[in-house]
């Protein structure tokens, strides 16, 4: 097996990638003896997913061989394996990463009446290259102690000079921010999107840093008045039994932007069938299973996300955030506009 190395000869494998190599060997060994199987490459790491995969095996008799690592590592792995890849299904987080797999030519189109019936058009690739399994909203939160920011109802309002020194957010290299800007490019045009990014940069309360959890903590502590985070991060606080953690949730308010127009930006966890899948029929059956009502609850609730399939209820922690109308933009546009979003971030100095 090819060993991945970084510049200067240093090993670039994280602990998850080291595990990946070990599991891949075991996966390949298991192929010889398994009558019915599906080989799943996933960048999700939740115990509820494991329970769901076991239920799929019990229901169908198809054994799930699971290989976990970061999305970029998996994509590179599949490229290296080429036509000899044992992988059947790629599961990853964010439409931008699904687009990267698409651009690399790793995914095969799928026609499935089941998936077309269960999933709205906005949450599946127009050509069937991938299908959404759960969603999350990119929301605005604020410090309740400082009051709800007047005039902040749209993403576009985050660039208003009235909020100078108020905004905390992650770096421009974060895929969630790239996808958010990609959606603004699609909806408002590149020129308006660049003006927005420049305005938000001028409104930073601090240099972009940390993950979404640190943005929530900063707002609760009064360090920032406003922050932009994914909904599932905040839902974790709402679901906590720890009084200190729950107190953080109680200190922040939630705004679902653009409710009087296109709706709030959403993104997906999704799955696609790999181009050289040796168990293609099982792969399709597996993805279809992940969109059943019971599976959707498992899949979404494991990370406090929203189900992708139509008509499935959310968890109580997610419900605590409130209801909203989602942008029905096909999320494939987030990948298509990714490169332009990165260029805009670089030009305006959003680091």
Residue pLDDT, tens place only, 162-212: 999 999 999 999 999 999 999 999 999 999 999 999 999 999 999 999 999
Residues 168 and 53 in one domain: no
Q: In this model, does residue 28 exceed pLDDT 70?
A: no
Name the pLDDT band for 34 (thresholds 50, 70, 90).
very low
Pairwise pLDDT comparison (307 vs 22), residue with the higher score = 307
Domain count, the chain: 2
pLDDT at 299: 84
pLDDT at 315: 86
Q: In this model, does residue 55 exceed pLDDT 80?
A: yes
Residues 235 and 146 in one domain: yes
> Is 236 inside any structural domain?
yes
> Is 327 inside any structural domain?
no
Any residues with CB less than 8 A from the CB of 216 and at least 6 apart, and which? Answer: 141, 227, 229, 233, 234, 237, 248, 252
Residues 131 and 142 in one domain: no
Residues 251 and 155 in one domain: yes
> Is 126 inside any structural domain?
yes
pLDDT at 17: 35
Residues 141 and 129 in one domain: no
pLDDT at 35: 63
Maximum Cα interatomic distance, the chain, rounded to a whole number of Å: 65
Residues 256 and 301 in one domain: no
Name the pLDDT band for 2 (thresholds 50, 70, 90).
very low
What are the E-state strand segments in 28-123?
A: 37-42, 63-68, 89-93
Cα distance between residue 225 and residue 207, in whole Å: 14
pLDDT at 12: 34
218-237 average pLDDT score = 97
Range of the domain at 163: 136-264+336-348
Q: In this model, does residue 19 exceed pLDDT 70?
A: no
> Is 304 inside any structural domain?
yes
Residues 159 and 196 in one domain: yes
Q: In this model, does residue 3 exceed pLDDT 80?
A: no
Nearest partner of 18 among 5, 32, 31, 35, judged by Cα: 5
Q: In this model, does residue 7 exceed pLDDT 90?
A: no
Residues 259 and 124 in one domain: no
58-75 average pLDDT score = 96
Q: Mean pLDDT in the chain? A: 90
Residues 243 and 123 in one domain: no
Which token pair is 97? 């990463």
Angle at 52 between CA 229 and CA 41, to 5 degrees: 70
pLDDT in tens, 99-154: 999 999 999 999 999 999 999 999 999 999 999 999 999 999 999 999 999 999 99
> Is 325 inside any structural domain?
no
Pairwise pLDDT comparison (176 vs 24), residue with the higher score = 176
Residues 156 and 108 in one domain: no
Q: How far is CA 209 from CA 24, 113, 180, 202, 213, in A?
A: 34, 43, 17, 15, 11
Name the pLDDT band for 290 (thresholds 50, 70, 90).
very high
Q: What is the CATH number of the domain that holds 294?
A: 3.40.190.10
Residues 205 and 84 in one domain: no
CB 170 within 8 A of CB 208: yes
pLDDT at 302: 86
Collapsed DSSP state (helix, strand, coil) of residue 123: helix
282-311 average pLDDT score = 94
> Is 7 inside any structural domain?
no
Specify which of 18-22, 156-160, 294-298 reaches the highest per-range mean pLDDT: 156-160
Q: In this model, does residue 6 exceed pLDDT 60?
A: no
Residues 226 and 274 in one domain: no
> Is 11 inside any structural domain?
no
> Is 24 inside any structural domain?
no
- For residue 82, the Cα-to-chain-centroid distance in whole angstroms is 25
């Amino acid at each position: 097996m090819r060993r991945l190395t970084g510049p200067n000869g240093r090993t670039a494998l994280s602990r998850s990638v080291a595990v990946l190599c070990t599991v891949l060997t075991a996966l390949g060994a298991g192929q010889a003896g398994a009558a019915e199987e599906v080989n799943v490459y996933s960048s999700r790491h939740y115990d509820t997913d494991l329970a769901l995969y076991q239920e799929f095996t019990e229901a169908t008799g198809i054994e799930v061989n699971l290989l976990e690592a970061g999305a970029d590592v998996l994509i590179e792995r599949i490229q290296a394996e080429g036509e000899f890849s044992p992988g059947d299904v790629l599961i990853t987080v964010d439409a931008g990463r699904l687009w990267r797999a698409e651009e690399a030519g790793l995914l095969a189109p799928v026609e499935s009446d089941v998936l077309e019936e269960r999933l709205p058009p906005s949450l599946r690739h127009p050509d069937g290259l991938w299908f959404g399994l759960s969603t999350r909203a990119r929301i605005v939160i604020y410090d309740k102690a400082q009051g709800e920011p007047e005039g902040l109802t749209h993403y576009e309002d985050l660039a208003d000079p009235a909020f100078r020194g108020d905004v905390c957010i992650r770096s421009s290299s974060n895929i969630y921010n790239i996808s958010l800007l990609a959606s603004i490019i699609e909806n408002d045009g590149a020129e308006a999107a660049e003006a927005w990014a420049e305005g938000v940069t001028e409104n930073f309360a601090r240099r972009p840093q940390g993950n979404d959890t640190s943005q929530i903590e900063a707002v609760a502590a009064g360090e920032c008045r406003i922050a932009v985070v994914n909904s599932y991060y905040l839902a974790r606080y709402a679901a906590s039994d720890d009084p200190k953690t729950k107190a953080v949730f109680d200190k922040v308010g939630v705004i679902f932007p653009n409710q009087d127009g296109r709706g709030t930006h959403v993104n997906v966890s999704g799955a696609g069938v790999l181009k050289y899948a040796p168990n293609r029929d099982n792969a399709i059956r597996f993805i279809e299973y992940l969109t059943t009502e019971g599976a959707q609850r498992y899949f979404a609730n494991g990370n406090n996300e929203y189900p992708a399939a139509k008509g499935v209820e959310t968890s109580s922690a997610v419900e605590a955030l409130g209801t909203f109308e989602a942008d029905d933009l096909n999320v494939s546009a987030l990948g298509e506009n990714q490169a332009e979003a990165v260029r805009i971030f670089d030009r305006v100095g959003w680091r």
